[in-house]
Structure 1
Amino acid sequence: MQNRRNSPLSIASIIVSMTAVALGNGVMSAYVPFVLTRSGAPSWAAGAAITAVAFGGLIGCVVAGPLIRRVGHARLFAASMALVTLGALLIAIGVNPIFWVLGRGLYGAAGNTNFIIAQSWLNHAASNEWRGKAMSFFYMTYVIGLGAGAWIFGQIPADGNLAPLATIFFTALAILPISLTRLPNPPPPAHVSVDIPMVWRNSPVGLVGVLAAGGLSMVVQGFTPIYAADNAVSQGDVAMLMFVMQLGMLFVQYPLGALSDRIDRRVVLIITCGLITVMAVSAFFVSFNNLLLLMLVFAIWSGAVETIYSVANAHANDRTAPEDFVPLSSTLLVAWSTSATLVPLAVTLATPVFDQQTFIFAAIGVALLYLAFVVWRMQRRKPAEATGRDGFEIRSAQVPNASVITEPDGENVRQPR
């Protein structure tokens, strides 16, 4: 059985390692689209790099479980950090769209593998009394780390290879706490048991919401620096824009999530879709000469996107019996990864035909379609007593719920939302 004597301080090594990972990812998430947009690379290159991250993440979802069962959590974490380093080296050798897309694909595969390892380890190490708080703290530190990494990019030269070298530095730091932790390895993760019919029966709103959130998150977070660089926004201002977008998650998601504990979560999802639409339309009209207002709009927009993911996850858990938590988490993880790959791919293909604002239209379309779907479902199904409703917990659409694990005796561990 899980060691319940672990204290919250015992998981510090995992939190510190993943924060270092986030810092490196934040640097590269700003550096790659900015340089590809400004370097005269083909118009498809920056969008392809975003799609490659998501596609690599989908591969990571498939291979992480078998690899953990083969070599264990700690060894696979080190191996995945090696993939991050190789990806950064491909980018450090100079601007080459093919190498850079491949490098971001390697990061995507390693990134989702890291999430599965970290979340499984946290679930195993934490007791029931403070597991939810631990997971919320994990999400907050990771997202703040992403923003801090983007800010760091704004402080170093974009020319040359200092940014990928900084990523390699943070990756090396990330290996140390995990390698030296005294926490025992958790049991191997459960087989990824995808059960779309079950999830659809229990919570169509939850399933479609995770699909919507996967596409929305990758589009908004990925194409915003490309859009800003196309409009001659300076490197420092692009970095600050990406930093405040991460802060938007905390200031927008928490109040809306708390509201979803008090009223029908579907009403909150409708409100959030409306907020996404309003902020996206505002993005068309806010001038790049008014950066403070632009940053406010994009911060609220980004925070609303994160809210779709967390509230949809909570709604799906509300409607699902405890014995189905593992296939629910597996199905939502695969749904998120698939949408996060296909929607950016569609935007990448459409952008040369239309213009640089294609991603804004795509976000509006996804939000309105999901809003209409939720309204339709509310007409067909009244609010019901949830099978496992607990309090809302902060989640990030940039860190998909990958914590599908079982106890050694086969008993499912309840997934914190």
Structure 2
Amino acid sequence: MTTQTVTTTNSPLSVASIVLSMTAVALGNGVMSAYIPFVLSRSDSPSWAAGGAITAVAFGGLVGCVVAGPLIRRVGHARLFAASMALVILGAFLIALGVNPILWIVGRTLYGAAGNTNFIIAQSWINHAASNAWRGKAMSFFYMAFVIGLGAGAWGFGQMPAEGNLAPLVTIFFTAIAILPISLTRLPTPPAPASVSVDIRMAWRNSPVGFVGVLAAGGFSMMVQGFTPIYAAENAVSQSDIAMLMFVMQLGMLFIQYPLGTLSDRIDRRLVLIIACGLIGVMAVAALFVSFSNLLLLMVVYAIWAGAVESVYSIANAHANDRTAPQDFVPLSSTLLVAWSTSATLMPLGVTLITPVFGPQTFIFAAMGLAVAYGGFVLLRLKGREAVPPAEREGFEMLSAQLPNATVITDPDNERADTTL
């Protein structure tokens, strides 16, 4: 079976259809990410329901990471994208039926599996279509558009009634829109992705700091991004204010992650990871004491907190790649992908189970403790191996800890995608 090769005539505009589709997906998910915790926290649902919905998304994402490759090889990128969008619509339909924690958790599991699958498809298509000259810019723009879409969707929820089923219907609308651009694209179909080959020993041997950092980032992201709207809703914060809070948290990724990432290209990345952990810990303390009545200050705190969380993921990824030989890039990426998804499932599950005992601030203490533990681990590792010289490092790539990084898995014919900023 032959595969099509990347043509040199493609331009950055050629991947616009993929970016538009995934931005529409992000808008719909942003709406649901705000709507579900707000409604479950304000309803008579069991105390575990809101946290269970967060865990369900992460668990579904883990399933999506595992099955995406085999399914793409079986039916192709475009067909699987449409099929997984159908799962997103089905999940939103279950939520539109009315407040039912079990149905909502099933719906969010479907979204998690479909969402990660579609993200892997989109990464594959962009990697295949882009040339080395502009691949990095395309991937950075793709990530930024998606993250801003998440924030804009959350803000949009603040402008619509929480009662009734308008929010899931809006998600269905955006999901249907998302099918059109990528289904009608004239870009050639990418080759089948590499299989997910997990090699924990290799990942640990090459970069304990990178491997543990990705594990920590999965927990950080799902706790901070997932439990914040629940915590705010339980403190009687209005719907519109919660929506704005979630929007500025996404902006925090852009304004905190990029400076820290640039710094990590110039000095030892482990030092920057310690700085990021320090920011996470300090902002967690601030989140405990800043009153919800001082909403502007609270938004600043949570924006910095979320941005620092995203930075751990991106810099840990870069650090792991710095210390890995090109022939190990695919198994490393596979291992980090599964590690992130596993942690993103188990950490919110643990927080959900102990929150009834320790209260709604449990996730803040958990994030604080994780930051101290990982920061201490990185500090100990500083006494071990020397830093990789800047000239020999992979360039920093802006990534989101809310999404799996499968850029190597999805493009097996490229020895290394040039995704530097």
Alignment TM-score > 0.5, same fold: yes
Tell me the equivalent position of 1:416: 419
Deviation at 1:324, TM superposition (A): 1.1
Which residue identity is paired with 2:348?
P
Give the residue type in structure 2 aligned to 1:216: F
> Separation in 2 of the partners of 1:60 and 1:406?
14
1:343 to 2:351 alignment: no
Counterpart residue identity of residue 147, structure 1: G
1:162 maps to 166
Q: Summarize the alignment of residues 16-31 of structure 1 with structure 2, pairs less than 5 Å apart.
A: 16-31=20-35
The change in CA–CA distance for 1:400 and 1:411 in structure 2 (over 3 A counts) is: closer
1:123 CA displacement: 0.6
Residues 213 and 306 of structure 1 are in contact (CA less than 8 Å); yes or no, is this contact kept in structure 2? Answer: yes
Give the match for residue 120 of structure 1.
124
Partner AA of 1:19 in structure 2? T
Which stretches of structure 1, 4 residues or longer, exceed 6 Å deviation after superposition? none
Distance 2:55 2:354 in 1: 13
**What is the deviation of 1:132?**
1.1
Matched ranges for 1:290-309 at <5 A = 290-309=294-313
Specify the SS of the correspondent of 2:87. Answer: helix
Picking from 88, 96, 110, the partner of 2:92 is 88
Moved more, 390-399 or 11-20: 390-399
The residue number in structure 2 matching 1:66 is: 70
Q: How many residues align?
A: 416
AA aligned opposite 1:223? F
Q: 2:358 matched to 1:354?
A: yes
Match of 1:267 in 2: 271
Q: How do 1:165-314 and structure 2 match up within 5 A?
A: 165-314=169-318
Query: Residues 346 and 415 (structure 1 numbering): CA distance in 2 closer, same or farther, change over 3 Å?
Result: farther
Q: Deviation per CA, 1:205-227: give whole Å up to 9, x if none.
A: 11000000000000000000000
Q: Give the distance between the partners of 1:262 and 1:166, measured in 2 at CA.
A: 44
* Residue aligning to 1:15: 19
Q: TM-score, normalised by structure 2?
A: 0.97
> Helix, strand or coil: the match of 1:353?
helix
Secondary structure of 1:110's counterpart equals helix
AA partner of residue 339 (structure 1)? S
Cα distance in 2, alignment partners of residues 339 and 247 from structure 1: 24
The residue that corresponds to 1:136 in the other structure is 140
Establish whether residue 375 from structure 1 lines up as the match of residue 341 from structure 2.
Answer: no
Are the structure 2 counterparts of residues 105 and 141 from structure 1 closer, same or farther at C-alpha, using a change threshold of 3 Å? Answer: same
Give the conservation status (yes or no) of the 8 Å contact 2:196–2:409: no
Partners of 1:171 and 1:70 in 2: CA distance: 23
Deviations 1:120-165 (A, max 9, x none): 1111111011111111111100000000000100000000000000
Indicate conservation of the 8 Å contact 2:250/2:303, yes or no. Answer: yes
Q: Distance in 2 between matches of 1:318 and 1:394?
A: 15
CA drift at 1:387? 9.1
Residue pair 2:333, 2:409 contacting (<8 A) in 1 also = no
User: Equivalents in 2 of 1:339, 1:64: separation in Å?
Assistant: 19
Alpha-carbon distance between aligned partners in 2 of 1:384 and 1:279, rounded to the nearest angstrom: 30
Range moving further from structure 2, 396-405 or 301-310: 396-405
Aligned-residue offset at 1:388? 5.3
Contact preservation (8 Å) 2:310, 2:400: yes
Structure 1 residue 198: Cα displacement? 1.0
Deviations 1:234-267 (A, max 9, x none): 0000000000000000010111111111100000
2:393 matched to 1:389? yes
Let me know the Cα RMSD of the aligned residues: 1.3
1:3 aligns with 2:7: yes
Shift of 1:390: 3.2
Letter in 1 for 2:102: I
Equivalent residue letter for 2:38: F
**Does the CA contact (< 8 Å) of 1:318 and 1:387 recur in 2?**
no
CA distance in 2, matches of 1:60, 1:329: 15
Alpha-carbon deviations, 1:264-319, whole Å to 9, x = none? 00000000100000000000100011000001000000000000000111111111
SS where residue 174 of structure 2 aligns? Answer: helix
2:11 alignment partner AA: S
> What CA deviation, in whole Å up to 9, does each residue of 1:161-216 have, x standing for no partner?
00000000000000000011000110000011111111111111110000000000
